[in-house]
């Protein structure tokens, strides 16, 4: 190793820093490695992001010019792609924006990472790519087909993003490490995603004729997985889930929310009514209120151990309460 390499300061790029999960990750990294430099970028407003020593915030659009400039001015060792538009924004007017960010933006990020010598790119996907279907096997593995976009167009962008990353991973694995993570439902007080809002809503749809099984992971535990991916996960695709699971009704009872009891056959109509009051859930989530979509964590445990999570599933649900 040359003297220049020994003296080089480790640099990390986190894309999507306005999100709560990204901020938890940045804090964990800099607590363990205060000598490292983390640059966080996002197209969204950054005024709410708390200052963290060692974290530089940049507000920018996800365009090729902006990204190329930041790659040219730095020498990133690791790149986290955590940026996705929330699928609670399901209107057709947002489809082109989601495709721009999830599909075109991902291509730019991977291309620039390869060109500028990034050691590892870490991409956050989701278990939603598998789809909640009646014929799902119990505990889907990473090689299960991605069927979500067959049912709901709202998930087309995230399925395409996932496929882009997996194809890229195999094509360039000799030149750059790439890790794709497909976590189960991430919940927590800092991450205002669809599932966290659903659990905490008094108007959450609560089916009376179905009781699917869910997996949850606390935002802090998910951030720890992201952090440990730097050194401990080789190139590959990994489902992320704890060893525990819980029924939907038991999860809602833990947060003491009554919800809106309904028979599943009127779910679509009832959700249309709630949309007018801005209390709706994304249409795709209705399938997950009917059919279980459980993922296997065997591949992840090969590298991170049998059970390293800090929070149990019941603790995670309680702590997600707003």
- Contact status, residue 17 vs residue 42, Cβ threshold 8 Å: yes
DSSP 8-state secondary structure symbol assigned to residue 172: S
Q: Long-range pairs for 266-273 at CB < 8 Å and ≥24 separation?
A: 267/205, 267/207, 270/205, 271/205
Count up the domains in the chain and report the number: 1
Question: Is residue 228, in this structure, part of any structural domain at all?
Answer: yes
- Contact status, residue 190 vs residue 134, Cβ threshold 8 Å: no
Question: Is residue 276, in this structure, part of any structural domain at all?
Answer: no
Q: What is the pLDDT of residue 3?
A: 43
Q: What is the pLDDT of residue 12?
A: 98
Q: What is the pLDDT of residue 1?
A: 44
The residue with tokens 């038991």 is 250
pLDDT tens column, 110-144: 999 999 999 999 999 999 999 998 888 889 999 99
CATH number, domain of 133, equals 3.40.50.720
Q: Residue 58: in which H helix or E strand, if any?
A: strand 55-59
Question: Is residue 258, in this structure, part of any structural domain at all?
Answer: no
Give the residue from 169, 183, 178, 181 showing the smallest Cα distance to 234. Answer: 178
Question: Is residue 83, in this structure, part of any structural domain at all?
Answer: yes
Q: What are phi and psi for residue 290, nearest 5 degrees? A: -115, -50
Measured between alpha carbons, how far is 18 from 134 in angstroms, rounded to an integer? 36
- Reading the chain (322 residues) residue by residue, the pLDDT tens digits are 444 445 578 999 999 999 999 999 999 999 999 999 999 999 889 999 999 999 999 998 876 678 899 999 999 999 999 986 554 444 444 555 666 666 778 889 999 999 999 999 999 999 999 999 888 888 999 999 999 877 777 788 889 999 999 999 999 999 999 999 999 999 998 987 888 888 887 767 778 888 899 999 999 999 999 999 999 999 999 999 999 999 988 998 888 666 677 776 676 665 665 565 455 567 777 788 888 999 999 999 999 998 889 999 999 999 887 5
Q: What is the pLDDT of residue 237?
A: 98
- Contact status, residue 117 vs residue 79, Cβ threshold 8 Å: no
Measured between alpha carbons, how far is 199 from 222 in angstroms, rounded to an integer? 18
Measured between alpha carbons, how far is 28 from 51 in angstroms, rounded to an integer? 14
Q: What is the pLDDT of residue 296?
A: 97
Q: What is the pLDDT of residue 2?
A: 44
Question: Is residue 316, in this structure, part of any structural domain at all?
Answer: no
Question: Is residue 266, in this structure, part of any structural domain at all?
Answer: no
- Contact status, residue 215 vs residue 19, Cβ threshold 8 Å: no
Q: Which two tokens stand for residue 48?
A: 């709410």
Question: Is residue 208, in this structure, part of any structural domain at all?
Answer: no
Q: What is the pLDDT of residue 90?
A: 45
Question: Is residue 321, in this structure, part of any structural domain at all?
Answer: no
Q: Which domain holds residue 40?
A: 3-186+216-242+294-309
pTM of the model: 0.91
């Amino acid at each position: 190793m040359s003297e220049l390499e020994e003296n080089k300061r480790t640099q990390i790029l986190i894309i999507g820093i306005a999100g709560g999960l990204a901020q938890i990750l940045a804090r964990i990294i800099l607590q363990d490695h205060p000598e490292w430099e983390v640059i966080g970028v996002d197209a969204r407003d950054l005024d709410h992001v708390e200052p963290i020593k060692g974290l530089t915030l940049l507000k920018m659009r996800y365009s090729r010019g902006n990204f190329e400039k930041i790659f040219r001015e730095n020498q990133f060792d690791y790149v986290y792609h955590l940026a996705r538009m929330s699928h609670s924004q399901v209107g057709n007017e947002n489809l082109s924006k989601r495709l721009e960010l999830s599909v075109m933006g991902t291509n730019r990020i991977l291309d620039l990472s390869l060109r500028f010598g990034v050691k590892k790119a870490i991409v956050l996907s989701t278990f939603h790519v598998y789809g909640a279907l009646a014929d799902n096997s119990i505990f889907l593995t990473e090689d299960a087909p991605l069927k979500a976009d067959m049912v709901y167009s709202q998930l087309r962008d995230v399925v395409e993003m996932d496929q882009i990353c997996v194809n890229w991973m195999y094509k360039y694995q000799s030149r750059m490490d790439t890790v794709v993570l497909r976590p189960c439902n991430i919940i927590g007080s800092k991450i205002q995603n669809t599932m966290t809002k659903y659990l905490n809503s008094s108007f959450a749809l609560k089916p009376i004729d179905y009781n699917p099984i869910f997996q949850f992971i606390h935002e802090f535990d998910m951030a720890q997985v992201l952090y440990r991916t730097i050194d401990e996960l080789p190139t590959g695709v990994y489902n992320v889930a704890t060893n525990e699971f819980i029924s939907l009704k038991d999860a809602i009872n833990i947060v003491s929310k009554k919800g809106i009891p309904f028979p599943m056959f009127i779910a679509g109509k009832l959700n249309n009514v709630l949309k007018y009051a801005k209390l709706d859930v994304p249409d795709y989530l209705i399938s997950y209120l009917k059919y279980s979509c459980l993922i296997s964590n065997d591949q992840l445990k090969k590298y991170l151990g049998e059970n390293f999570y800090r929070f149990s599933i019941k603790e995670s649900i309680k702590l997600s309460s707003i």
